[in-house]
Amino acid sequence: MPVFPAKTPKLIQLLFPKYIWKKESLDKTIYLTFDDGPTPEITQWTLNTLKQYNAKATFFCIGDNVKKFPDIFNAVVEAGHVVGNHTFNHLLGWRTNTEQYVANTEKAQDVIALKSKKLFRPPFGKIKGSQAKILLKRGYKIVMWSVLSYDWEVKVSQEKCLKNVINHATSGSIVVFHDSIKASKNMQYTLPKVLEYYSKKGYQFKSL
């Protein structure tokens, strides 16, 4: 079951001020993000759904997936979305030595270098201080989140996934979804409803 709360506590944000947890926004804007793609079975559906609402998002891509599915990756970019780095092999930072972790991140960056702003999201949200220090020094912006949908968690129902977002996301929130097979059931139920719900309230969706 969930380890992190759906809404990131302010204390956590204050403890790690060098990470990006939300965006200051004077207008009604929400920042949707999608981790773990590109995925042949899911990513194009995600792009089509976002397009229906003129929504832009940020896709944190796994380097190995980019290498395997370059056409899908290019479709993300051509649709006007921003892409970020999610390591080459979806490494868990807490269980990976710093040298290997940084090298794996740079390997992913080499694949997406021409398309990326050097945005980085650590898989699982777990990164050592030593790893973060080096990446920040090398110009990466470490992007975390304000709200977790928990779309990947099989014990979280579709309805709960939706509530995780609409009960917590406000202007400036960075919301985490996944364009992965594992998360597809919850994500494909929740995303259209989130887009419709906030669009009716006058919100827009932008990339980071």
Report the catalytic residues: 35, 178
3-class DSSP string for the chain: CCCCCCECCHHHHHHCCCCECECCCCCCEEEEEEECCCCCCCHHHHHHHHHHCCCCCEEEECHHHHHHCHHHHHHHHHCCCEEEECCCCCCCHHHCCHHHHHHHHHHHHHHHHHHEEEEECCHHHCCCHHHHHHHHHCCCEEECCCEECCCCCCCCCHHHHHHHHHCCCCCCEEEEEECCCCCHHHHHHHHHHHHHHHHHCCCEECCC
- φ/ψ of residue 120, rounded to 5: -135, 135
The Cα 86–Cα 156 span in angstroms is 24
Packing angle, helices 129-137 and 98-112, rounded to 10: 40
